[in-house]
Structure 1
Amino acid sequence: MLGRSVKAAAAALVAAGALAGCSGGSPKAGTAAVVGDDRITVTALSQTVRDWREQFKDDPLANRMRAGSINPADGMGSESGESDLRDALTLLVNFRVAEKMARTQGVAVPEGQTDQAVDLLNEKGGAGSITLASGLPRDRTRELARFIATQRLVMQRLGADGNPQSLQTAAAGKRWNELFRSTADGMHIEVNPRYGTFDPVKGNVGPVLYRLSTPESGIGRT
C-alpha cells in the first residue's frame, strides 16, 4: 500500500478499514469517543483540529492534495467545522483499532518500520503535508506513519506480495478490511452523538442526522 500515490496515501486512510462497533448509549461528558479502554476527550480533539486548521491554511501542497482526495460535497471548512472534527476523529479511532488488530494478529510494528513509512511519505511529497492532507496536524505524523506501517505488515502476513495490482495483494486487502471490522466489533467503541454516527458502509464517523419535527416533538437529532 505504501507504493500508492501521495493523493491515494492521504485519501485511503479513512477508507482503509471499516469501523464498526457499538454506537448505542452516550459517552461521559467531555468525551469525544471511547475506543476500548482508551478515551479521546473533547478537549484533545478540539485542540487537534485547531492545530490542524492553523497549519493547513499555510501549506499549499496539503491543500492541493486534500482538494484532490475528498468529495467536494463533503464541504471542506463547513460552517460549523463539523466535517473537520469527524475526519480527525475517524482517523484517531482507526489508529487505535489498527493497533489492536496488529496485536491480535501477532504482528509487531518496530519503530524502524515507522521510520521507513515516514521516509517514504517524505519521498512522496512531504510527511508533514500528507499528514495535514489527511486531516491531522504535523505532530501526528508518526501516528499516521505507524498506521501505514501497521497496514503494510499485517497485509504482508495475509499474503500481500508488494504489488498493488496483484491478486495476492487484492485478497490481502479484502482480508484486512474483514479483520478490521471484526476487531472493531470486538472493542467497546462509542462516539459522542454531537460528532455524528458510525457509517458501517463507509467505515467512518458520518454526519449527524437530523429529522423534521412534529409540532409535539420539536426539531431534533435522530
Structure 2
Amino acid sequence: MHRRRRPALLLTAAIAAAAPLLTACGGDAHPGAAAVVGDQRITVSQLENRVDEVRAAQRAAVPDDTQYQQVVARTGTLTRDTLHGMVLDQVLHRAAQDAGVTVTRKETQAMRAGLQEQAGGAKQLETAWLQQYGVAPARLDENLRLQLEAQKLAESLGTDTSRPEFWQALSKASAKLDVDLNPRYGTWDVQKSSRVNAETPWVREITAAGSQKTA
C-alpha cells in the first residue's frame, strides 16, 4: 500500500477485522498458513472463509448470474486483497497498542450511527461498504472499529492516516511482528506495510466463485 491520501474514514479499501487466529507452532510457517503475523497464523481456511463471506454477500445483493459474474470479474484480486487487510489489521492493532490507543464499543456504535444517517439507513451502509470496500455486512462493526483505531493512532502521533509519520508507526509494528506471507500470496513490504505480488506468473488463484485466473 502506497502512502497516498485516503478517504477520511477508510484506512484501506480492503481493511477488515482479522479472523480468529491460531497460535503458530514450530518453525514451519507455511503449511496450512496464508500468513504468520508475530506468534499467530492466518490459515488458508480462515482466509477462504473470509472471502466466501464477501462472495455470499455479493451474490445475495446481485442475484442475476451475468451481473454477479461481472462483480466477480471486477473483484478478481479479492483473495489477496482480503489477506492484505487481515494482516494489516494485526499490524495496525499492534501499532495502536504500542501507542496506548484503544477504541470502545460505544465509539464504534456512534460512528456507525453517523454513517448510517449519511447513507440513508443500515442496509444502504452495508451495501456501500460491500460494494466499495469488500467488507461483508457481518464484518462492518469490526471494520469501523479498526477505522477508529487508525484515526486515534494518527491523532496520538499528531498527524493523520495519509502522512508518513502514521505509516512509519505501522512499519515499526510490521518489523516487530515479522510478518511472513505464504509465497503464493506474495511478500510483505515492511516499509510500506503492504503486500507485494511475488514474481511467480505460474501461480494460479481459485476464487470463491469457482473461477480460475492467473495470479
- Considering the TM-score relative to the shorter chain, is it more than 0.5? yes
Equivalence for 1:107: 101
Matched residue, 1:116 = 110
Tell me the residue number matched to 1:90.
84
User: Does structure 2 conserve the Cα–Cα contact (< 8 Å) formed by 1:14 and 1:203?
Assistant: no
Between the aligned partners of 2:201 and 2:46, the Cα distance in structure 1 is 30
Cα separation, 1, equivalents of 2:168 and 2:83: 21
Match of 2:104, as an amino acid?
Answer: P
Does residue 207 of the first structure (1) align with residue 205 of the second (2)? no
Report the Cα offset of residue 146 of structure 1: 1.2
Matched, 1:154 2:156: no
Q: 1:34 to 1:88 in 2, by over 3 A?
A: same
Question: Match for residue 51 of structure 2?
Answer: 49
**Which consecutive residues of structure 2, in runs of 5 or more, have no partner in the other structure?**
1-5, 16-26, 63-72, 203-215
CA-CA distance at 1:11 after TM superposition:
6.4
Contact 1:99–1:150 (8 Å) recurs in 2: yes
Q: In structure 1, how many angstroms separate the alpha carbons of the residues matched to 2:196 and 2:118?
A: 29
Q: Which letter does structure 1 place at the counterpart of 2:142?
A: E
List runs of 5+ in structure 1 lacking aligned partners.
1-6, 17-24, 61-74, 161-168, 213-222
Q: In the comparison of the two structures, how many residue pairs are matched?
A: 171
Aligned Cα root-mean-square deviation (Å):
3.0
**Contact kept in structure 1, 2:14 and 2:81, CA below 8 Å:** no
Residue 37 in structure 1 maps to residue 39 in structure 2: yes
Distance 1:11 1:152 in 2: 9
The equivalent residue for 2:126 is: 128
Deviation at 1:194?
A: 1.3
Please state how far the C-alpha of 1:26 moved relative to its aligned partner: 6.6
Shift of 1:198: 2.5
The amino acid that maps onto 2:188 is: F
Q: Which amino acid aligns with 2:140?
A: T
2:212 aligned partner: none
Q: Secondary structure at the match of 1:8?
A: coil
Structure 1 10/102 Cα, relative in aligned 2: closer, same or farther at 3 Å? closer
TM-score, L = length of structure 2: 0.67
How far 1:127 moved relative to its partner? 4.0
Does the CA-based 8 Å contact 2:108-2:148 persist in structure 1? Answer: yes
Indicate which of 74, 77, 93 corresponds to 1:76: 74
TM superposition shift of 1:76: 2.7
